[in-house]
Amino acid sequence: MENSVDIAIIGAGPGGLAASETCARFGASVTVIDEQSAPGGQIYRQAPENLRQRAEGFGIAYVDGVAKANAVASISAIEWRLGHAVWNVLTPQRTQSEAFLISTVTDDGLSEIEAKRVIVATGCYDMPVPFPGWTLPGVMGAGAIQALMKGQRVVPGKKIVLAGSHPLLLIIAEQMLAFGERPAAVVFSQPMWRAGRLLSRPGVAVSFAEPLAQAARAYAKLLRAGVPVIFSGAVLRADGNDRVESVTLAHLNPATGLPQPDNTREISCDAVGIGFGFTASSELVRLAGAATRWSRTGGGWIAVHDGEMRSTVANLYVAGEVAGIGGAKTAAAEGALAALSALRDAGYGVDAAELRRARSNCRRNRAFAALLQELADPGDELLRALRDEGTVICRCEEITKGQVEELLGQNPFLGTSNALKLLGRTGMGACQGRYCSRSVLELISSATGRGVEDIGQFTARPPVKPVPIHHFGGGVRD
């Protein structure tokens, strides 16, 4: 307990950074933990020092974000645990002490951090969308492509197809152009008019002028560069021998939004980035026993909070994507608010006006996030139509949709994600169900008619990231 810090912040993305800066400003002792070796999270992911050239290709927001991250990193009052992957969180109720116990693993071994309060700002990952060929090397999440570009300054292909429904695809394609690579195509499942209809709502265009202008600029740049930007389309399958060599593109029926099997064409490519949206990394929140709720368009299972970022577990706070996909600005706003709540609960004098400003900042950003979620939503019907019997649902254990359906048929009493995991191994692999949880939920729902909350999610288990067992021979460092 004497060693425990006032506030531990898990995640050094925009949410965690804003939280840590706020905590430090109030003089609280704060430790920030992140898997990566530099702060910034996914959106401001930094390259190793010898590769930091051409950062301006990611745009001014990235350059500013990285600078900001590094400025926070230089605050001497903050203790940094970078390169630390958190694999377990025990609440004070469970450690039977006054402090949370956070277990981490690094390349060198295990360590533990005790904290009186914890802010979870663990972000999100590409929403996995199974379709035939999605496990071929070269097919990846659009966010993963961006991570390679930012983290390694590598564009993983010469003929990349970006496909999905998220406007981020435009930004990634634009960044590729800046790195001298021209994407083979950018494919959106929505009809073009959908964006227009959303934007024509009263007030929308004015309130969100800046991100809209950014997307419009990217679109214009792509058209000028001759990149085909296709609407009402979807990648039906990816084919190739050792890696992806082509994709089959289908035109979607304008009335149903579903693929027209007789209206397809093949596009040759060497990599595919799929971007239908993001899934919240809420596993630590769940592991700590805090409530989550299902948000179909907002990131899957997201943390329940009280409007001031308090989770349902005392002294555990959430910020950013874990509380619903919202982007960097929302995360930063919520990180600051989570910190103010934690500080106030710890007895620090938080100015009422500052709290009010932080709350309204969150509200404003969440309004934009809601619009973006609506714009990016591909609809479950389309995602369902993309997978066939043989499509792998659980990548770790290589279980297909057909196998899952067969199990559900043979075992009519099977009605939860956990029971399917137990009987069918979906979610038992190294990813702990990150890849398959959404598909599993939908398959059980289709087979049984049960509601999402009844079907539930895989119970989060430690370690949420695999831990090399040889580390257990070496004991624990503080």
Partner 1 sequence: MSKADWDVAVVGGGLVGAASAYYLSKRGARVLLLERRELNGQASGQNAGSLHFQIEQRLVSHGEAMTRQAATILPLILDAIERWRGITAELGETDLDVVQHGGLMVAETPQQVATLERKLKLETQGGLPTRIIDGEELRSLAPYLSNSVLAATYCAVEGHGNPRLITAALARGAARQGTAIRTWTTVTGLRREEGCWRIETENSDGSVRREYASTILNAAGAWARELAALAGVHLPVFPVALTMNATDAAPPFIPLLIQHVGRRLSLKQMREGNLLIGGGWPSRFERDRNGLVTTRAAYPRMESIYGNMAVALDVVPAVARRTLLRSWTGIVGITADQLPLLGEVPEAPGFFVATGGSAFTLGLTYAAQIAELIDSGRTPLDIDIYGPRRFGHLNAYMG
**Stretch of 54-62, 347-355, 362-370, 411-419 lying at the interface with partner 1 (CB under 8 A):** 411-419
72 near partner 1, judged by CB under 8 A: no
* Shortest Å distance, C-beta 425 to partner 1: 7
* Shortest Å distance, C-beta 281 to partner 1: 17
* Shortest Å distance, C-beta 430 to partner 1: 6
Report the residue number, 59 or 462, with the smaller CB distance to partner 1: 462
Q: How far is CA 220 from the centre of its chain?
A: 27
Binding test (CB under 8 A) with partner 1, winner from 415, 426, 441, 444: 415
Report the residue number, 74 or 410, with the smaller CB distance to partner 1: 410
Q: Which of 376, 400, 377, 398 is nearest to 389 (CA)?
A: 400
* Shortest Å distance, C-beta 360 to partner 1: 37
Burial 410-447 (b: 16+ CB within 10 A, else e): eeeebbbbbbbbeebbbbbbebbbbbbbbbbbbbbbeb
In whole angstroms, give the CA distance from residue 305 to residue 66. Answer: 29
432 near partner 1, judged by CB under 8 A: yes
- Report the greatest alpha carbon distance in the chain: 69
**Stretch of 26-34, 215-223, 224-232, 427-435 lying at the interface with partner 1 (CB under 8 A):** 427-435
Q: Which of 424, 385, 349 is nearest to 25 (CA)?
A: 349
Binding test (CB under 8 A) with partner 1, winner from 70, 295, 418, 445: 418
Write the binding mask 299 to 338 for partner 1: x where contact by CB under 8 A, - elsewhere. Answer: ----------------------------------------
Residue 362 is encoded by which pair of tokens? Answer: 């969150």
Half-sphere exposure (Cβ direction) of 147: Cα atoms closer than 13 Å: 13
Q: How many residues bind partner 1 (CB under 8 A)?
A: 38
Report the residue number, 335 or 427, with the smaller CB distance to partner 1: 427
Instruction: Kindly calculate the radius of gyration of the chain based on its CA atoms and give it in whole angstroms.
Output: 22
- List all residues 6 or more positions away from 304 whose beta carbon is below 8 Å from its beta carbon: 290, 291, 292, 293, 311, 312
Burial 16-53 (b: 16+ CB within 10 A, else e): bbbbbbbbbebebbbbbbbbbebbbbbbbbbbeeeeee
Binding test (CB under 8 A) with partner 1, winner from 266, 380, 406, 454: 454
β 278-280/476-477 pair status: unpaired
Q: Tell me the H-state helices in 179-275.
A: 192-199, 204-207, 209-224
Helix (H) or strand (E) holding 274: strand 271-275
* Shortest Å distance, C-beta 461 to partner 1: 5
94 near partner 1, judged by CB under 8 A: yes
Report the residue number, 146 or 315, with the smaller CB distance to partner 1: 315
Report helix, strand or coil for 426.
coil
104 near partner 1, judged by CB under 8 A: no
**Stretch of 59-67, 212-220, 342-350, 423-431 lying at the interface with partner 1 (CB under 8 A):** 423-431
**Stretch of 42-50, 71-79, 215-223, 467-475 lying at the interface with partner 1 (CB under 8 A):** 467-475
* Shortest Å distance, C-beta 408 to partner 1: 12
Judged by CB under 8 A, the chain residues 362 through 401 that form the site for partner 1 are 397
In whole angstroms, give the CA distance from residue 279 to residue 440. Answer: 14
**Stretch of 1-9, 276-284, 353-361, 419-427 lying at the interface with partner 1 (CB under 8 A):** 419-427
283 near partner 1, judged by CB under 8 A: no
Report the residue number, 83 or 156, with the smaller CB distance to partner 1: 83
Cβ-in-10-Å burial (0-12, 13-18, 19+) of 388 comes to middle
Report the residue number, 27 or 466, with the smaller CB distance to partner 1: 466
Interface contacts to partner 1, rule CB under 8 A: 88, 90, 93-94, 101, 103, 112, 289, 397, 410-411, 413-416, 418-419, 422-423, 425, 428-430, 432, 454, 459, 461-463, 466-470, 472-473, 475-476
